[in-house]
């Protein structure tokens, strides 16, 4: 498989307005990649596009699309049609939403939104752009999933299940397209210091946040994993050790342990919120 040359490579990044997606965009722009920046927040996308064009002299196109809307993937394709970024050589499937709650408590439309963003739109983007990658025998998919996709996570059941879909999809595609010279890599970080928790009103305690990874470091790891054509890659040693627990233990026991841990974390988060953390 040919080495990755980012200079003049066309890269589409979902969830590019903040966190890991923004860091991946910045790091690839520094390597000379042209960028299609996808997210809901148009003001942030335009600011990021201006920044990378000024700092690195690359093309950066804001693509303000809500990935939870029907037809989001085709809207992205149509937005890029006829531009220098059409078709992307690499797509970074990074956007994600989720909740810390019992599934029975979630509004039905929220269930649909999580599945649409984390599952449907990303699967459709892969379907839309894989044929051109296969034809060129180059390019690929870099997906940012989560450790939550590697085991059952009570109180994050929907989020974890959606990320498990992404892990399974990418792992299968990795083997499906590698003989064409196309890379597919899925990265599963643990907690990362981004605005994901606040944006999704997720219950997180300070101890967990203190152990969270830096998004820039996760972005660097993810790009390296893609260049190495890793299948499923986990950024930190501690997370890799944790990933073996559900493989070793019976699934019922792994689920019970996860339930206990999540209950403790939710209680700690609620206690900290009640005491005015951050005031």
Q: Which residues are catalytic?
A: 159
CA–CA separation, 68 and 78 (whole Å): 17
For the beta carbon of residue 164, count every other beta carbon within 10 angstroms.
19
Contact 84, 34 (CB under 8 A): yes
Rg of the chain's alpha carbons, rounded to an integer?
19
Contact 14, 141 (CB under 8 A): no
Q: Are strands 34-39 and 60-64 parallel, antiparallel or unpaired?
A: parallel
CA–CA separation, 92 and 86 (whole Å): 15
Cα 176–chain centre separation: 21
CA–CA separation, 51 and 142 (whole Å): 23
Cα 55–chain centre separation: 25
CA–CA separation, 91 and 76 (whole Å): 12
Q: Which residues are within 8 A (CB) of 215 and not within 5 positions of it... i.e. 6 or more apart? A: 19, 20, 22, 23, 192, 193, 194
Distances (CA, A) of 111 to 68, 72, 133, 146, 158: 11, 17, 32, 18, 8
User: 224: part of which helix (H) or strand (E)?
Assistant: helix 215-227
Sequence length of the chain is 279
């Amino acid at each position: 498989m040919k080495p990755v040359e980012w200079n003049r490579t066309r890269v589409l990044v979902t969830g590019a307005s903040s966190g890991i997606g923004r860091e991946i965009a910045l790091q690839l722009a520094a390597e000379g990649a042209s960028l299609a920046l996808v997210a809901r927040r148009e003001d942030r996308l335009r600011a990021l596009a201006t920044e990378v064009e000024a700092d690195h002299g690359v093309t950066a196109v804001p693509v303000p699309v809500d990935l939870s809307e029907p037809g989001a993937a085709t809207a992205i394709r149509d937005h890029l049609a006829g531009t220098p970024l059409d078709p992307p050589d690499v797509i970074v499937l990074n956007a994600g939403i989720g909740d810390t709650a019992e599934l029975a408590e979630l509004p039905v439309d929220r269930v649909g939104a999580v599945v649409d963003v984390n599952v449907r739109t990303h699967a459709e983007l892969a379907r839309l752009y894989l044929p051109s990658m296969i034809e060129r025998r180059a390019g690929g998919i870099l997906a940012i999933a989560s450790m939550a996709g590697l085991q059952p996570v009570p109180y994050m059941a929907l989020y974890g299940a959606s990320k498990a879909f992404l892990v399974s999809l990418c792992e299968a595609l990795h083997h499906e397209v590698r003989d064409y010279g196309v890379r597919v890599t899925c990265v599963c970080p643990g907690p990362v210091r981004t605005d994901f928790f606040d944006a999704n009103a997720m219950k997180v305690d300070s101890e967990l946040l203190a152990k969270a990874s830096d998004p820039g470091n996760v972005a660097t790891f993810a790009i390296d994993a893609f260049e190495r054509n890793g299948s499923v890659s986990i950024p930190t040693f501690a997370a890799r050790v944790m990933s073996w627990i559900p493989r070793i233990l019976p699934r019922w026991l792994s689920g019970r342990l996860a339930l206990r841990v999540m209950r403790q974390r939710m209680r700690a988060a609620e206690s900290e919120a009640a005491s005015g953390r951050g005031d």
